[in-house]
Amino acid sequence: MNTEEIKWISYYGKDISAISCSFHEKLNKYGFCLVLDEYGSDKATKAQIGILDTVLEVQTPNILLICPRHLMHSWYRCVVTGNGVDFKMISGSSKAITYFNEKASNTYIIAEEALEADNPLMQKFADAGLTWDLVIIDAGLSTSGIKCGLYSEHLKAKTNKLVILSPVPCGYHQSYDEIKSLVKTLLADENKANAVDDISFDEKSICFNPYTPVMRYFDKSVYNGEVARNVVMLEYEFPQDFISNSRRLIDIKTGLPLYAQGGNVFEEYGLEAKKTYTKPSYNIADVQELRQVDKKLDCFLTKLDEVLKSPENRAVVYCVTGSTIQYLKKVISALYPNINGLLKIDRGDIFNTRYDNFTNDVRDNARVVITVDKIGSINPQVKRFTHIFNYELPDSPVIFEQRAARHGGRNEQSREFIVMCDKNNLFDARMLSKVLFGKIYKSIVAGLPGRNVLFDLPNAAQLITDAIRDLQYVCSYTGEVSNCHDVITQFKGDYNISPSIDISSAAKTHEYTKLKLDKIYRAFGLENRIKENTSTEEKVLKPMIKEALERFSGALLYLDDQQHIVALGGAALEECLYSEQYHSYKEQCSTLDISAGIKAAQKAFENFITDNKNAELRLCVNILPDTVKMPVLLNSWRYLTDNFMIQETFRQFMKKYNEGVM
């Protein structure tokens, strides 16, 4: 065993697939890699490989990882307990203690929000003439494009290598020029940076191609034609007299509903049973009373009971508001008091605790997790769910797609993506039709093929038809009647219109709805089939929508220059996927340095254990730079415990290592 062999053990436990090897090769070849894979793809391994590459190559590495604030701890666990590389987290406070020594290794995780606050540490880096060895930008939760201006303006030092992670790199109406400019601004090597001008962000990006630094890859099942998700629609209905006799809770100042998400009747209406709803905890009788009133809760619990009958099942329940999270928590706790560790509330990020204390124990076995859309997709625990419940719906169709994609492509055809919809067309049906399908053009990426779970809904054609016909009515009415405050207020409430959008008059509302309709018509290719300022009968419009949905079925989708949704399927999809160099490049990736290095390190470890050469490991590790020692030792411990039945914690391993009695 020698130091060059032993270093490769740092990569142990990573998913060294052809895609991971391709990332490794592209980053080293081009100096930058734009990882635009589908949300939920394995970005953690790519980031870990990029970091390990840098640590093993550079004596005193300078690495910066940028992410949303609420994902900082998740990334910290990923790189520290996953890689063994120490990172410090940079606060956004101007008075925060900052650690920087230009002669030492500097590895930091910083929040996007801290960049916007002009953290003084950024200026220190620039004043010291620092060039980063690696910068990783996690823009994975972006819904309307990478904030290129933020990074260009506030990152005051250049980098030798750059990784950008984002499934939605630009908004539907934007070009990729800002991304190209960002690469040129941040990358130290101008020749490599200028190569970004040659990139075509188009349907060919999904091909496994050695000649581009762009990655837009999907799980194997997608390439096998399994594009659609396993969507299950649960319908419920409130009695009509119940709705008509109930008072909707309205903000006196604005006239808009106090609750806009459509998923919790107790937050939306003033009901007598709210006395029970607001109790700090429930008993069985309380839950029965609530189920009598809340038909959605009753529908949800019927399905959840079915899910929990199998001990193998795990469910994640997505909510938007804290009040609904507490509501479901109290209900589930009352119904299943005897199942230990059943429920977990997660308002930040779901994470795998296996290595938190370096004990190899899996301590987080909750079978029902109630969570919000802010969670990331970094750690493997998010891939373990068998059922995804959408109890409350988000305002953005991009976020809705993130819910479907976050949990990975593996087992996607068996995993149920459960959407609830009311027959009253007032609650979830309103959100699906008017809010989500009303913004459908915002959820398809320009040029880059992707999926959209909204089109997998069994009643998609009806929901889209209802949204278009309602918009046509509002557009027509506000174009003819100048005094229509009630119609405008109703429109704002139904479509969850942002307060920043000024539709205070009939004329402004008319122009806004006219523009919205034009975008929806264009998305479905109907702009020349529907006359302007006219209302289309359902029997005419619905077949047009069905025709478009049939084109989209089983295909990847992208927006062209005319803002039309283009369906890439069948022979056209295969042509984009399988270029001449596809198979040879796949074989090449399996023989790259990273694959060969890991195999050699594992073989050396087998010899080490077989021959009981304890001292040899210590000699090899002692020669390594300080920044490399911990990744090698941590992953040596993992390799030994996973493959040689050595049942000990990392602390015990290190004690034996230091005493030379392994």
CATH number, domain containing residue 118: 3.40.50.10810
CA dist 455 and 440 (Å) reads 10
Residue range of the domain that includes 520 = 445-568
Q: What is the DSSP letter of 11?
A: G
Q: Does 114 map to a domain?
A: yes
Query: Quick one: what percent of the chain has pLDDT higher than 90?
Result: 53
**Backbone angles phi and psi of 503, in degrees to 5:** -130, 50
CA distance 15 to 231: 28
For residues 386 and 237, state if they share a domain: yes
Residue 601 lies in a domain: no
On whether both 297 and 326 belong to a single domain, the answer is yes
| 3-class DSSP state of 417 | strand
Q: Express each pLDDT in 356-401 by its tens digit.
A: 445 555 555 688 999 998 887 776 678 889 999 999 999 999 999 9
Q: Are residues 205 and 231 in the same domain?
A: no
Condensed to tens digits (0 to 9), the pLDDT of residues 312-371 reads 999 999 999 999 999 999 999 999 987 777 888 775 544 444 444 455 555 556 889 999
Q: What are the tens digits of pLDDT across the range 532-556?
A: 666 789 999 999 999 999 999 989 9
DSSP, res 281? S
Position 364 scores a pLDDT of 57
- Output the CA–CA distances (angstroms, integers) from residue 8 to 265, 385, 491, 599, in the order listed: 56, 32, 60, 9
Distance, CA of 164 to CA of 23 (rounded, Å): 12
Pair 503, 381 in one domain: no
**Last residue of a domain, which of 399, 426, 453?**
426
In DSSP notation, 438-501 reads GGGGGGS-BSS-B--GGGGSTTHHHHHHHHHHHHHHHHHHHHH-S--HHHHHHHHHHTT--TTS
Whether the pLDDT of residue 642 is over 50: the answer is yes
Whether residue 508 is found in the same domain as residue 557:
yes
* Domain's final residue, options 426, 461, 482: 426
- Same domain? 98 vs 207: yes
In a domain, 436, yes or no: no
> How does pLDDT run across 486-541, given as a tens digit for each residue?
999 999 999 999 999 999 999 999 999 999 999 999 999 999 888 766 678 999 99
Q: Is the pLDDT of residue 93 over 70?
A: no
Has residue 602 been placed in a domain? no
Q: What is the mean pLDDT of residues 406-427?
A: 92
Work out how many domains the chain is built from and give that number.
3
- From CA 211, how far away is CA 588, in angstroms rounded? 13
* In-domain check, residue 563: yes
CATH classification of the domain holding 367: 3.40.50.300
- Check whether residue 234 and residue 186 sit in a common domain: no
The separation between CA 60 and the C-alpha centre of its own chain, rounded to angstroms, equals 32
- Average pLDDT of the residues in 623-646: 84
CB 582 within 8 A of CB 208: yes
Is 230 within a domain? yes
- Locate the DSSP E strands across 209-354: 214-215, 231-236, 247-248, 269-270, 315-318, 343-346
Cα torsion 392, 396, 399, 403: sign: positive
d(C-alpha 53, C-alpha 11), whole Å: 9
pTM exceeding 0.75? yes
